[in-house]
């Protein structure tokens, strides 16, 4: 069974600085997707960034980028130029597209606080 | 806005009562997922629909839980004889039939259930 581990329950960063959130996962699959979702306080979960395992190039979305290390089964999220609106829970998630469900397997999350 | 909607947003009930939640996915999204999120945890998969067919149920979905998606559009999740351990946020997500976007799931705001 696949598992996702986020080892940092809470993190904080000063506004405008850079922060990296860690995620490791375990799977025997070769083809899969990885995601970072953001859940702001009392608001719904939104997708931040995705990575296809067969792509070696790390995904980037504006201030958000990932460091995908397939052999190490590591998928960290880097947030550059942190903004107050980045304050949220961040969840790392795994999906096996070949599975019958296609459901997401989430880590426990990292609570990020951006301080002014 | 035509995002995923859920109703009600909050539900307080007494132990032993039945509750029903509704999810309206994004139109034309044929896949629909239910997740449960308890405090301090990431969402956990409950069940999955493709159109009106319920294709997968997690072991978390005890026989007190039932979900339907009668016409392949909205879905309902019913919990019978609620227990205090059922207190959680119930999240609904949908995704389109074919996607080159890594099967991105779009989440609703959730229904927060409190069982007294």
Give residue-wise pLDDT tens across range A17-42. Answer: 999 999 999 998 888 999 999 999 88
Instruction: Say if residues A8 and A112 touch (Cβ distance below 8 Å).
Output: no
How confident is the model over A80-98, as pLDDT tens digits? 999 999 999 999 999 987 6
Would you call B55 an interface residue with chain A, using a CB distance cutoff of 8 Å? yes
Predicted confidence (pLDDT) at residue B100 exceeds the cutoff of 70? no
Among candidates A33, A21, A31, A111, which has minimal Cα distance to A66? A21
Nearest-Cα residue of chain A relative to residue B53: A101
Q: Provide the CA B61 distance to its chain's centre, in angstroms.
A: 11
Q: Output the pLDDT for position A113.
A: 97
Between positions 35 and 54 of A, the ones with CB within 8 A of B are 35, 37, 43-47, 50, 52
Q: Is the peptide bond before A100 cis (omega within 30 degrees of 0)?
A: no
Among candidates A20, A13, A11, A114, which has minimal Cα distance to A75? A20
Rounded to a whole number of angstroms, the distance from the CA of B102 to the nearest CA of chain A is 6
Taking one residue from A and the other from B, the number of pairs with CB-CB distance under 8 angstroms is 63
Predicted confidence (pLDDT) at residue A102 exceeds the cutoff of 90? no
Would you call A97 an interface residue with chain B, using a CB distance cutoff of 8 Å? yes
Q: Do B104 and A50 touch (CB under 8 A)?
A: yes
Predicted confidence (pLDDT) at residue B81 exceeds the cutoff of 80? yes
Q: How much of chain B exceeds pLDDT 90, in percent?
A: 71
Find the mean pLDDT for residues B23-37.
93
């Amino acid at each position: 069974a696949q598992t996702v581990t986020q080892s940092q329950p809470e993190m904080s960063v000063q506004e405008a600085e850079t922060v990296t959130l860690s995620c490791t996962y375990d799977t025997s699959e070769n083809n899969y997707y990885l995601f970072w979702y953001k859940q702001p306080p009392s608001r719904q979960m939104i997708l931040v960034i995705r990575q296809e395992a067969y792509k070696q190039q790390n995904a980037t979305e504006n201030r958000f980028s990932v460091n995908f290390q397939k052999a190490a089964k590591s998928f960290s999220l880097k947030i550059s130029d942190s903004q107050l609106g980045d304050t949220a829970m961040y969840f790392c998630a795994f999906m096996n597209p070949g599975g019958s469900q296609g459901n997401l397997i989430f880590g426990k999350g990292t609570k990020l606080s951006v301080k002014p | 806005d035509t995002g995923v909607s859920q109703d009600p947003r909050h539900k307080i009930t007494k132990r032993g009562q039945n509750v029903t939640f509704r999810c309206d996915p994004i139109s034309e999204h044929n896949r629909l997922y239910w997740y449960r999120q308890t405090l301090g945890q990431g969402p956990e998969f409950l069940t999955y629909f493709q159109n009106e067919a319920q294709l997968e149920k997690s072991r978390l979905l005890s026989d007190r839980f039932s979900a339907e998606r009668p016409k392949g559009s909205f879905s309902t999740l019913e919990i019978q004889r609620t227990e205090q351990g059922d207190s959680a946020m119930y999240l609904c997500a949908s995704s389109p039939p074919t996607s080159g976007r890594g099967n991105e799931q779009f989440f609703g705001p959730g229904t927060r259930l409190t069982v007294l």
